[in-house]
Amino acid sequence: MTESERPNPLVTPESTLTYTVHTNYAGCDTVNDNVRVIVHPLPDIKASGENSEDTVEIAQGESVQLVATGGVQYEWTPAESLDNSWIYNPMANPDSTTIYTLTGTDVYGCVNIDDVMILVRIPGLYIPSAFTPNNDGRNDVFYIRSKGTVHFELNIFDRNGALIYHSKSPLEGWDGTVQGTGKQVPTGAYVYQTKGEFSDAEKFNDSGMINLIR
């Protein structure tokens, strides 16, 4: 017996279809009936911050409101750092960077998911691991963010140890060129070294690698 000959076949149409069933009894005419299976598109579920951002940056200890759209029923996970994981606009207070997954259901019972990242900035320095100086207006400059400094210094060195960038202002960042020449450096890993003093008199001195990606 094929699937189409079974009394209760399982169907998974990709679009709305009408199925016809033919029933035969010995000595009787064939009886036909139809059933229409309506296929609804998946809901356009969207998870974001209150200003429609896909990634939201906050300081440790701060809260941020999440927003869900596209459905009539929602569930957020993980729920531990949310005030209510079952509403469309919970307040999130994560201790560390967290990706929240939103599961949304529409009026037809169709389900879809989306994510939003809450990037938690630990008090002190925030140093990204990579940047992309390709002039697309996003992540084009390597900045070191801090909780507030009264003294600041940033140096960038190439793989041969040559100093290619120097600044004493946290408002200035490296754009991926040799300072003073405008010459672009190639894709690769470069050494940063930063030191200074925070506004609370705490001193910092840190170094590491920054990946430049073109």
Structural domain boundaries of the chain?
46-121, 125-212
Q: For 57-70, give one letter per residue: b (16+ CB within 10 A) or e.
A: bbeeeeebebbbbb
Say if residues 49 and 56 touch (Cβ distance below 8 Å).
Answer: yes
Indicate the DSSP class of residue 31.
E
Q: Answer whether 46-121 and 125-212 agree in fold.
A: yes
Q: What is the pLDDT of residues 174-200, one digit of tens each?
A: 999 999 999 999 999 999 999 998 876
pLDDT of 2 higher than 70: no
Determine the average pLDDT of the residues in 83-108.
95
Q: What is the CATH number of domain 46-121?
A: 2.60.40.10
CATH 2.60.40 fits 125-212, yes or no: yes
Name the band, by pLDDT with cuts 50, 70 and 90, for residue 141.
very high
pLDDT of 145 higher than 90: no
The per-residue pLDDT of the chain, averaged, comes to: 89
pLDDT of 203 higher than 60: yes
Instruction: Say how far apart CA 176 and CA 59 lie, in whole Å.
Output: 27
What 3-state DSSP class applies to 4? helix
